[in-house]
């Protein structure tokens, strides 16, 4: 489709939290931008999408995605990962830097940018490493990385253990106005653990990962953020104590934001009892009280955003003994559906609140101009049916890896169109013109 052609989306429920909009209406797209929002727009356009009975929202922004490039194209590529994003209604992703090699220097950023330019179906923003090789020893050159367009830094997969180094990283990040994202885990406590510590680890005869290994480190990271006055984002919150600590930190006015992933509010540790390695992730699935606290945290605004922590792994890395299998699950294609099922359908969040958590808030946290349907805005838009159902199966996942925790489940929310930069990057067959 020609970029300059106009697209008219008609008669859908427009939800745009940034403009406090939740109403039936039309959107006109031209030259990759939103050029009109309103009722009964009448104009000649090359494509008219009838969105009646559908919900129209700004494209989702997923700020925790492992695209695996460079180095592990067997798990996922920029091409396959962004295709999965488009199918899930995600138009912007933040690519995490735990690649091979790690994104820890301008050369490696350029390497990734080249691949993005050639093959990305949606927008890809880059998160670079905090330390060289993610070893927790020597800081990367944050200023130079920023010049290459990096929007955040993280050693995701690990936490920077050394307090002094972490403080230095936060101070430097503050000067450069770069966001720091923490994978808060004290590996001294969680080492070799594979499931939640407690009855589950005992029943399964596996080493446990304590809640303390997470919230102890969350506590430290908050303390260091306070000391450095840096902006800090805490990734994949999984336990109730972390939620409480973040609540207290926000009450004090600290610039802390927090994230959780759909599996932490949709599943409990009971799901792992059958040794299904698609239920193995880090942090691990926790207890019922934790799930309740995460949901409450989302409702109260303590947890600002939902991200998938999309972590593709090959069958060879998952179809082995539980303790040897890799940590992580894919999530780009299921996050909207699972969140709708667990949060909107259960009355924990309204649709506008969910859109805020999955689009506007992550855009704000990353400081990128996304997540709204404002006039003149880049046309990143998703149209979905909230009532239709689909079954998650290996066959209908487009991600290169199939390690979903939701295989076999019937989910609501079928994404029908994903528009990125004014172009349809995904459409569900029935509606293809």
Q: 301: left (phi > 0), else alpha (psi -120 to 50), else beta?
A: left
Work out the number of other CB atoms within 10 angstroms of the CB of residue 293.
25
Give the x-and-dash track for 220-259 against other proteins (CB under 8 A): ----------------------------------------
Candidates 321, 395, 430, 433; binder of other proteins (CB under 8 A) is 321
Site string for Zn ion, 128-157 (x = CB under 5 A): ----------------------------x-
- The answer to whether residue 274 forms part of the interface with other proteins (CB under 8 A) is yes
Quote the least distance from Cβ 205 to other proteins, whole Å: 3
Judge whether 397 and 333 are in contact, CB under 8 Å.
yes
Paired residues of 34 in beta bridges: 29
- Of 29-37, 95-103, 151-159, 195-203, which part binds other proteins (CB under 8 A)? 195-203
Residue 330: phi, psi to the nearest 5? -80, 160
List the single partner that 1 binds among other proteins, Zn ion, none, CB under 5 to 8 Å by kind: none
Shortest spacing between CB 275 and other proteins, in angstroms:
3
Pick from 23, 114, 319, 387 the residue near other proteins by CB under 8 A: 319
Q: How many residues does the chain have?
A: 433
Residue 408: name its binding partner from other proteins, Zn ion, none (Cβ under 5 to 8 Å by kind): none
Q: Are strands 7-16 and 21-30 parallel, antiparallel or unpaired?
A: antiparallel
CB-based contact 280:356 (threshold 8 Å): no
Scanning residues 61 to 120, which ones bind other proteins (CB under 8 A)?
Answer: none
Q: For residues 238 and 193, give the distance between their C-alpha atoms in angstroms, rounded to a whole number.
A: 15
Inter-residue contact 65 to 308 (CB < 8 Å): yes
Residue ranges of alpha helices (H) inside 211-274 are 211-228, 240-251, 262-266
Q: Are strands 195-196 and 179-182 parallel, antiparallel or unpaired?
A: unpaired
Report the nearest approach of Zn ion to the CB of residue 245 (Å).
17
User: How many residues belong to the site for other proteins (CB under 8 A)?
Assistant: 22
Residue 63: its H or E element: strand 60-65
- Pick the catalytic residue from 186, 309, 378, 380: 309
CA atoms of 287 and 291, how far apart (whole Å): 6
183 interface partner picked from other proteins, Zn ion, none, CB below 5 to 8 A per type: Zn ion
Pairing of strands 256-260, 33-38: unpaired
**Alpha helices, DSSP H only, in 252-334?**
262-266, 288-300, 315-318
Residue number, 190 or 377, with CB nearest to Zn ion? 190
Question: With CB under 5 A as the contact rule, which of the stretches 99-107, 189-197, 285-293, 309-317 interacts with Zn ion?
Answer: 309-317
72 lies in the binding site for Zn ion (CB under 5 A): no
Q: Does 408 bind other proteins (CB under 8 A)?
A: no
215 binds other proteins (CB under 8 A): no
269 binds other proteins (CB under 8 A): no
Instruction: Choose which of 55, 206, 239, 420 interacts with other proteins (CB under 8 A).
Output: 206
Contact 408, 375 (CB under 8 A): no
Distance CA 239, CA 34 (A): 40
Pick from 157, 174, 254: nearest CA to 246: 254
Q: Give the C-alpha separation, 243 to 297, whole Å.
A: 6
Judged by CB under 5 A, the chain residues 164 through 203 that form the site for Zn ion are 183
> Rounded to an integer, what distance in angstroms lies between the CA atom of residue 122 and that of residue 138?
33
Nearer to other proteins, 202 or 396 (CB): 202
Residue 247 binds which of other proteins, Zn ion, none (CB < 5-8 A, kind-dependent): none
The yes or no reply on residue 423 touching other proteins (CB under 8 A) is: no
Q: Please give the Cα distance from 94 to 159 (Å, whole number).
A: 18
Partner in contact with 69, chosen from other proteins, Zn ion, none, beta carbon below 5 to 8 Å by kind: none
**132 Cβ partners below 8 Å, 6+ apart?**
102, 104, 105, 138, 139, 140
Among 137, 320, 387, 393, binds other proteins (CB under 8 A): 320
Q: Which is nearer to other proteins, 83 or 280 (CB)?
A: 280
Asked if residue 204 binds other proteins (CB under 8 A), the reply is yes
309 binds Zn ion (CB under 5 A): yes
The smaller minimum CB distance to other proteins, of residues 267 and 383, is found at 267
Give the distance between the most distant pair of CA atoms in the chain: 66
| Catalytic residue flag (residue 16) | no
Annotated catalytic residues are 309
Residues of the shown chain interacting with other proteins in the complex, contacts defined by CB under 8 A: 197-206, 208, 274-275, 316-317, 319-325
Residues of the shown chain interacting with Zn ion in the complex, contacts defined by CB under 5 A: 156, 183, 309
């Amino acid at each position: 489709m020609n970029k300059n052609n106009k697209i008219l989306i008609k008669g859908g429920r427009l939800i745009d939290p940034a403009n406090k909009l939740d109403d039936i209406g039309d959107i006109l797209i031209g030259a990759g931008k939103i050029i009109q929002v309103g009722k009964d727009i009448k104009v000649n356009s090359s494509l008219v999408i009838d969105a009646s009975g559908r919900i129209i929202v700004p494209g989702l922004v997923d700020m925790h995605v492992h695209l695996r490039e460079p180095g592990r194209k067997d798990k996922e590529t920029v091409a396959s990962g962004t295709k999965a994003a488009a199918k899930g209604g995600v138009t912007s992703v933040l690519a995490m830097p735990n690649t091979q090699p790690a994104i820890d220097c301008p050369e490696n950023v350029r390497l990734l940018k080249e691949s993005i330019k050639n093959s990305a179906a949606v927008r890809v923003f880059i998160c670079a490493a905090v330390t060289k090789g993610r070893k927790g020893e020597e800081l990367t050159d944050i200023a130079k990385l920023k010049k290459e367009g990096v929007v955040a830094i993280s050693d995701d997969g690990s936490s920077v253990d050394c307090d002094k180094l972490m403080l230095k990283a936060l101070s430097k990040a503050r000067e450069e106005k770069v966001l720091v994202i923490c994978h808060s885990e004290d590996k001294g406590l969680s080492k070799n653990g594979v499931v939640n510590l407690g009855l589950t680890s005992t029943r399964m005869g596996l080493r446990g990962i304590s809640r303390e290994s997470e919230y102890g480190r969350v506590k430290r990271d908050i303390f260091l953020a306070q000391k450095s006055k840096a902006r800090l984002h805490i990734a994949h919150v999984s336990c109730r104590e972390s939620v409480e600590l973040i609540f207290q930190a926000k009450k004090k006015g600290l610039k802390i934001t927090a994230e959780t992933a759909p599996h932490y509010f949709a599943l409990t540790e009971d799901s792992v009892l059958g040794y299904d390695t698609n239920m193995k992730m880090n942090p691990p699935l926790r207890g019922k009280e934790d799930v309740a606290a995460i949901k409450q945290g989302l409702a109260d605004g303590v947890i600002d955003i939902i991200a998938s922590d999309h972590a593709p792994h090959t069958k060879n890395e998952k179809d082995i003994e539980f303790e040897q299998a890799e940590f992580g699950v894919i999530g780009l294609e299921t996050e909207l559906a699972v969140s709708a099922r667990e949060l909107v359908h259960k009355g924990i969040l309204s649709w506008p609140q969910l859109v805020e958590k999955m689009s506007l808030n992550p855009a704000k946290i990353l400081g990128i101009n996304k997540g709204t349907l404002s006039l003149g805005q880049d046309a990143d838009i998703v149209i979905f049916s909230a009532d239709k159902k689909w079954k998650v199966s290996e066959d209908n996942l487009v991600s290169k890896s199939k390690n979903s925790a939701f295989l076999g489940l019937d989910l609501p929310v079928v994404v029908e169109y994903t528009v990125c930069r004014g172009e349809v990057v995904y459409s569900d067959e029935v509606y293809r013109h």
